[in-house]
Copies of this chain bind each other. A is one copy, B any other.
Amino acid sequence: MKIFDEAALVSGIRNGNRRALARGITLVESTRAADMELAQRMLQQLMPHTGKSVRLGITGVPGVGKSTFIEALGLHVAAQQKRVAVLAVDPSSPYTGGSILGDKTRMTELSRLEEVFIRPSPTGGTLGGVSRKTRESILLCEAAGYDVVIVETVGVGQSEYEVASMVDFFLMLMLPNAGDSLQGIKRGIMELADLILVNKADAGFEARAEAAKREYSNALHLLRPKYPGYTTEVKLCSALHKNGVAEAWEHVQTYLARLGSDGHFIQNRNRQLIHWTRRLTEELLLARLWEHPDVKTGWDTETARIRSGETTPVLAGQTLIETFRKSYSA
């Protein structure tokens, strides 16, 4: 049974059909070797039509108001006749079945718009695999004509680095309570930010928000700038009341124009392509390894021998790649 018709899929995505796009992303997320090959053929055909969106990464701890902010920003951008896609990278979802965009209902207004595409986090695989899939999903959204692709992530760890390595602009949302030890870990991640937005600067919380803004600004001065001569700004916003959202978008555009004119934009894009190539090559090879019939048989034998104490993981690993070496070229 043929689930994916290659030509129909490619033309559907090119025509901006949301169902085709969703199917394309499902294909990209598959770990079956046959699906991966089809996905790569599809990507290869779509590549000439990619690269034209603004790729925007957004991070922040749970509770900072990411959904509310993305909804407000998405509505603002959509009102300017631009098509918006939202993708999620959730480091905990590979195991628990997703959380950040698990229910689209969190962005009720935005998800109702015809010109908006929202996709929850891919499930399954390592963070590296998830981020490779997200990178390819960005390309599919671009081929489908989306003008702004927002990649949402959460956490205090590696997923921020992954997302920062696939976007043009990395926006960090912060709570208006600087000095909180829970945000201490964010220092390394602050170096990735192109803009810090102190959210929940609502009426009555102005003083706290201003204090937080000062504290983040001071902290940023101690870090190395993201690009020589650049300063990461700290701004206030209230996503709930839609204050500061238009200004933030304005800032993104001005900043990207500057990156474009001094060459950083294209340098970033090229570096990201090279990074993706490395990941992709590794995933292609590992798929070949684990789908090889001799390696499958060898895996069963070796793991049984590990359980019975006849071999060790080290020897088993060597045996398996030797099996692969012998039969791979045959």
Binding site for B on A (CB under 8 A): 40, 43-44, 47, 61-63, 91-92, 94-96, 99, 126-128, 154-159, 161, 180-182, 184-185, 187-189, 191, 270, 273-274, 276-277, 280-282, 284-286, 288-289, 302-303, 306-307, 312-318, 320-321, 324-326, 328-330
Contacts and interface: CB of A to CB of B under 8 A. Distances in A.
Given A154-B156, A306-B277, A92 B189 contact: yes
Contact of A314 (B92, B161, B280): B280
Contacts of A185: 62, 92, 99, 154-155
A279 B161 CA distance: 22
B318 A62 contact: no
Contacts of A315: 44
B91 A157 contact: yes
B95 A281 contact: no
Given A92-B189, A99-B188, A284-B317, 19 more contacts: A40-B317, A43-B312, A44-B314, A47-B312, A63-B184, A92-B161, A92-B188, A96-B191, A127-B157, A154-B185, A156-B157, A277-B303, A281-B289, A281-B316, A285-B286, A285-B289, A325-B329, A328-B329, A329-B330
B277 A156 contact: no
Nearest to A180: B63
A314 B313 CA distance: 32
User: Which applies to chain A's interface (DSSP): helix, strand, loop or mixed?
Assistant: helix
Given A155-B156, A314-B280, A326 B329 contact: yes
Contacts of A61: 156, 182
30 contacts: A40-B318, A43-B312, A43-B314, A44-B314, A47-B314, A61-B182, A62-B181, A63-B181, A92-B188, A94-B158, A127-B128, A128-B128, A155-B155, A155-B157, A156-B157, A270-B307, A273-B306, A273-B313, A274-B307, A277-B302, A277-B316, A277-B317, A281-B289, A281-B317, A281-B321, A285-B286, A285-B289, A285-B324, A328-B329, A329-B329
Contacts of A317: 40, 277, 280-281, 284
Nearest to A161: B95
Nearest to A159: B157
Nearest to A63: B181
Contacts of A330: 329
A288 B330 CA distance: 18
Question: Which of A156, A191, A329 has its CB near the most chain B CB atoms (within 10 A)?
Answer: A156
Contacts of A187: 96
A245 B44 CA distance: 58
Contacts of A316: 277, 281
Contacts of A155: 155-157, 185
Question: Which of A61, A187, A189, A317 has its CB near the most chain B CB atoms (within 10 A)?
Answer: A317
